[in-house]
Structures are given as C-alpha cells and as structure tokens.
Amino acid sequence: MKSILISLFLIMSCTLFAQTQADMNDEAARGFKTADSTLNVLYKKIQKAYADDSLFLKNFKITQRIWITFRDAELQLKYPASAGYGSIQRMCYALYQTELTEDRIKTLQTWLDGVEEGDACAGSMRIKP
C-alpha cells in the first residue's frame, strides 16, 4: 500500500510540473535574452569606464565583434541547422548560447572589477579600487 501511494504521488508530481517542448524552448530563449541583455549593459559600462582610452575602445569593439562571430560559429558547429535534432534542438541551442554568453560576461566583468595591484601581466586592465 505504501509503495502504491508513493507511486501515485510521483505520478501526480510529474504531471503538475510537466511542460511542453515549446514551453521549454521558449524558456531557454528567454534565458538567452536575459544573458544577452546583461552582456549589452556590461559592454556599455566598460565603454563608459574606458572612455578616455581610445585604443582600448577600438580594440574592445574589435574583440567583441570577433567573439560574436566565434559564438555563432561555435553554435553552428554544435547544432548545425541541417542536422535535424528534432524539437529539442531550439532549446539546446538557446541553452548553449546562454552558456557561451554567460562565460563572456564573466570575462568582461574583469575589465570593470580590475586586477590586484602588482599584477605584472594586467596589460590594459585597471587596478582594483
């Protein structure tokens, strides 16, 4: 009797939280839009913080364009459009797109956070306040 009740509870729990693939695709797409928005805000903050360094800004724009090209190529490598992975492909694509974008956010955040004083390899990064 106990195992029947547990089984019924599990079945009911699963149906309460079930989503369609379309719902999961949409949720993954929203996750990417959030990450992309965060990246854009960070990009603008870095541009403002380094406004007095024209060489940095020139190189920063170039690297961001190259990163976007890399990101898109990486996505095509992992999920080629012609592969036909089924209805889950949109979700997987968006999840990986989000992962790559969140990694880029972490990388760019160091330009705002700065580095410890004495870091001989800091290059154009500013020292932490």
What ranges do the domains of the chain cover? 19-113
Type of residue found at 105: I
Does domain 19-113 bear CATH number 1.20.1270.180? yes
- Given the structure tokens 């060489």, which residue do they identify? 55
Only one residue has tokens 């870095």, namely 46
Provide the residue type at 116 as one letter: E
Beta bridge partners, 127, equal 115
d(CA 96, CA 125): 28
Predicted model pTM: 0.82
pLDDT tens, position by position, for the chain (129 residues)?
Answer: 565 555 445 554 444 555 899 999 999 999 999 999 999 999 999 999 999 999 999 999 999 999 999 999 999 999 998 777 888 999 999 999 999 999 999 999 999 999 999 989 999 888 888
